[in-house]
């Protein structure tokens, strides 16, 4: 498949099958804001639950929180977002479009007569670069002029840092320990794009691991390896995953070391998770600005220290896009083309399709009862429209790993046909044993 066409096909499939829709589409849409449809919300939920299970439920040294989106404005002053979370931007007075000052499409010098807008082509209409804060601003209070300015959080990490002491004391954890969170964040991105890869509203899955200074490098390496293995266990193609280390000139001002996990999308290698050694910068800043002591008393040595933080930060929307792109396959089966999403069965939005072979002889009634029984345990889809081949193909496009067909033999011996999405192998299974049969194949 030519790379130029793959994303167009995936975007088309995502809408057709109910994974992702353009937000407010009936009004012309809102740029780089997306809604998840029936299948998309299930895929994303499955990924988030899988991450939460691995981070919180399967470990005894990580606790969960759900911090508020709105926070005290001093949080963002302490973190450096108010003063430093800015980009230089250029506006076109003619077409009203806005560009980053480093946009390679800009010709000439913005603010001078020779500057040409890359969209409308007009010369002399580009403003000189101006700094633009990427945080969305709003107000708390009854009257806007008298209200306090607050921001929609541009990241979820700060909600963890300001709750570090609360979690430490209430959970009776000892360092090293971590705090995990899944939540929405908002950035007024100027150059969003590539479908759901870069958006203005997005969801993060972050874990901040608090360690003793001097032990940070060991924990950094451990979390690097653990996070890459997690993606491999998700079934992501190994050859399309890689680490990208940040060079010294790429490092954020607070970071001692940083690695991105990148995936090879049709539009190139792009980061979707970061592992960072943030040192004691964040707790140090909040301790300074709040006046609250955030250091830790080590009961073993009776010494105090400000913990270093190892961060793993994964975009839930980007991960869902990775899963969708990596699963997308076009192949020929018995002389026919089929499109199939080869999701790991455990994360597939629908686990099984249930089909009566024909609409007579009691098959629809049997299939309906079977689907109702399975729904207590799994997401299933009942379909009796069209030929059985077409119904299989529809579920292949949805990424459904198993198809269950009720046929004439079912009414004789109470068995059904279970079809495997990937191998296309079919086997007879007792109807009352279908649930156990599927559950054994959904582990992982």
DSSP for 367-431, please give it.
Answer: HHHHHHHHTTTS-EEE--SS-HHHHHHHHHHHT--EEEEE-HHHHHHSEEEEEETTT--EEEEEG
Is residue 80 scored above 70 in pLDDT?
A: yes
Per-residue confidence (pLDDT) for residue 102, from 0 to 100: 79
Q: How many CA atoms lie within 13 A of 138 on its CB side?
A: 13
Strands in 187-325 per DSSP E? 201-211, 241-245, 257-265, 268-277, 296-298, 303-305, 308-315
As a whole number of angstroms, the distance between CA 392 and CA 33 comes to 32
Chain-centroid distance, C-alpha 424? 30
Residue with tokens 């083309």: 337
Residue pair 276/217 in contact (Cβ under 8 Å)? The answer is no
**Average pLDDT estimate for 43-65:** 98
As a whole number of angstroms, the distance between CA 116 and CA 108 comes to 6
Is residue 82 scored above 90 in pLDDT?
A: no
Sorted by where each begins, the domain ranges of the chain are 3-71+152-325, 86-133, 350-441
As a whole number of angstroms, the distance between CA 216 and CA 175 comes to 12
Is residue 4 scored above 60 in pLDDT?
A: no
As a whole number of angstroms, the distance between CA 159 and CA 67 comes to 5
Per-residue confidence (pLDDT) for residue 344, from 0 to 100: 97
Joined tokens for residue 173: 């954890």
Q: What is the pTM of this model?
A: 0.90
Closest by Cα among 17, 43, 30 to 317 = 43
Residue pair 303/293 in contact (Cβ under 8 Å)? The answer is no
Torsion of CA 354, 357, 359, 361, to 10 degrees: -110
State whether CATH 3.30.930.10 applies to domain 3-71+152-325: yes
As a whole number of angstroms, the distance between CA 306 and CA 199 comes to 35
Residues 6+ apart with CB under 8 A from 69: 152, 153, 183, 184, 186
Say how many C-beta atoms besides its own lie within 10 A of residue 340's C-beta: 21
Q: Which helix (H) or strand (E) holds 87?
A: strand 86-91
Query: Any idea which architecture 350-441 has in CATH?
Result: 3-Layer(aba) Sandwich (3.40)
Residue pair 389/317 in contact (Cβ under 8 Å)? The answer is no
Q: Partners of 308 in the beta sheet? A: 211
What's phi and psi for 276, nearest 5 deg? -130, 140
Per-residue confidence (pLDDT) for residue 3, from 0 to 100: 58
Per-residue confidence (pLDDT) for residue 88, from 0 to 100: 83
Q: pLDDT class for 130, splitting at 50, 70, 90?
A: confident
Say how many C-beta atoms besides its own lie within 10 A of residue 444's C-beta: 11
Q: pLDDT class for 408, splitting at 50, 70, 90?
A: very high
Share of the chain above pLDDT 70, in %: 97
**Average pLDDT estimate for 154-175:** 96
Is residue 245 scored above 60 in pLDDT?
A: yes
Choose the weakest-confidence range: 83-87, 114-118, 175-179, 354-358: 83-87
Q: What is the pLDDT of residues 92-129, one digit of tens each?
A: 888 878 787 878 888 899 999 999 998 899 999 999 98
Q: What is the pLDDT of residues 357-388, one digit of tens each?
A: 999 999 999 999 999 999 999 999 999 999 99
Would you give the end-to-end CA distance of the chain in angstroms? 29
**Average pLDDT estimate for 210-233:** 98
Chain-centroid distance, C-alpha 148? 32
């Amino acid at each position: 498949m030519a790379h130029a066409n793959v994303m167009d096909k995936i975007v088309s499939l995502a809408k057709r099958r109910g994974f992702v829709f353009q937000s407010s589409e009936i009004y012309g849409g809102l740029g780089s804001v997306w809604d998840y449809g029936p299948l998309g919300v299930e895929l994303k939920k499955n990924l988030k639950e899988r991450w939460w299970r691995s981070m919180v439920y399967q470990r005894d040294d990580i606790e969960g929180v759900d911090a508020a989106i709105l926070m005290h404005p001093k949080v963002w002053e302490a973190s450096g977002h108010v003063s430093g979370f800015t980009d230089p931007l250029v506006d076109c007075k003619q077409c009203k479009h806005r560009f980053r000052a480093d946009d390679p499409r800009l010709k000439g010098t913005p603010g001078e007569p020779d500057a040409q807008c890359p969209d409308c082509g007009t010369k002399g209409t580009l403003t000189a670069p101006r700094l633009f804060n990427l945080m969305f601003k709003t107000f708390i209070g009854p009257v806007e002029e008298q209200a306090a300015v607050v921001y929609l959080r541009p990241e979820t990490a700060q909600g963890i840092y300001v709750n570090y002491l609360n979690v430490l004391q209430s959970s009776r954890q000892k360092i090293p320990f971590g705090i995990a969170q899944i939540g929405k964040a908002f950035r007024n991105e100027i150059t969003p794009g590539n479908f759901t890869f870069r958006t203005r509203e997005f969801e993060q899955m972050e874990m901040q691991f608090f360690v003793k200074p001097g032990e940070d490098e060991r924990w950094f390496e451990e979390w690097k390896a653990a996070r890459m293995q997690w993606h491999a266990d998700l079934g992501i193609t190994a050859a399309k995953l890689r680490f990208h280390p940040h060079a010294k000139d790429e490092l954020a001002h607070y970071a001692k070391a940083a690695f991105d996990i990148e995936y090879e999308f049709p539009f190139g290698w792009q980061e979707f998770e970061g592992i960072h050694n943030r040192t004691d910068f964040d707790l140090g800043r909040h301790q300074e600005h709040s006046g609250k002591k955030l250091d830790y008393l080590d009961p073993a040595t009776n010494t105090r220290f400000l913990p270093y933080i190892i961060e793993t930060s994964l975009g839930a929307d980007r991960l869902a896009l990775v899963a969708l792109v990596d699963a997308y396959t076009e192949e020929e089966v018995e002389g026919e083309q089929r499109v199939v999403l080869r999701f790991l069965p455990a994360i597939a939005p629908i686990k099984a399709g249930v089909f009566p072979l024909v609409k007579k002889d009691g098959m629809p009634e049997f299939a309906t009862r079977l689907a109702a029984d399975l729904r207590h345990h799994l997401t299933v889809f009942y379909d009796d429209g069209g030929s059985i081949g077409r119904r299989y193909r529809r579920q292949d496009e949805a990424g459904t790993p198993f198809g269950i067909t009720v046929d004439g033999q079912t009414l004789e011996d109470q068995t059904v046909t279970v079809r495997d999405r990937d191998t296309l192998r079919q086997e007879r299974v007792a109807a009352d044993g279908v649930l156990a049969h599927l559950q054994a194949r959904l582990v992982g």
